[in-house]
Amino acid sequence: MAAGSIEIGRQSRQGGVILVISMIILAVLTVIGVSIFSTAGLEEKMTTGFQEQNRAFQAAESGIAQTFNALSSQSDFSQFSPDSVGSGSTTIGDYGASTRLSVNYLGETAVLRNTEPASARRRSSGWGASASSCIGYHHFHINSIGSGNNNARADVNRGIRVISVSSGNVTCPGVP
């Protein structure tokens, strides 16, 4: 046969190997693409779970702040009721998360009693002009549970002491 001529009728020995190789490469690329999409979906679920947990924690922290505000406006802790703090719904941005509070009053510890006459006290001492004064700590335990979507929940516990000054003819518990 002359150079440059084409033989017709002879079968090539390659017999479709290129087709098989291209199908294998296409299958591998398909598997890689599906795994990338499933990984992205899993990462999105993890991010959503983290955001929900963070929102629940922020709701619990806002319950603690709500309790601090209620306690800071309290002047007579002998009449304190945990119901005055309450519980309710806290809104974080456009998201509503619920907060449940539990406030326990653990008692008072007096730390100082002043029985000096008013005339003997310095004007800038901060003590009242009454016959006796008592500085004490009121102990509280606060439990705030924040919850959000997807069963996200955060439980925050705080123990606090509120300083109070009682004036007049008062009895300081634990101080002679």
Give the domain ranges of the chain.
17-167
Neighbours of 87 (CB within 10 A): 18
Confidence (pTM) = 0.61
CA distances from 20 to 15, 25, 57, 137 (A): 10, 9, 56, 83
Q: Of 15-19, 35-39, 95-99, which one has max mean pLDDT?
A: 35-39
Residue 127 pLDDT class (50, 70, 90 cuts) = very low
Q: Residue 132: what pLDDT? A: 63
Higher pLDDT, 70 or 176: 70
Q: Where are the beta strands (DSSP E) in 19-150?
A: 88-92, 95-114, 133-147
Nearest to 77 by CA among 104, 113, 112: 104
Residue 166: is its pLDDT beyond 80?
Answer: no
Nearest to 134 by CA among 67, 78, 69, 73: 78
CA distances from 118 to 83, 125, 127, 172 (A): 38, 11, 9, 18
Higher pLDDT, 112 or 125: 112
Residue 90: is its pLDDT beyond 50?
Answer: yes
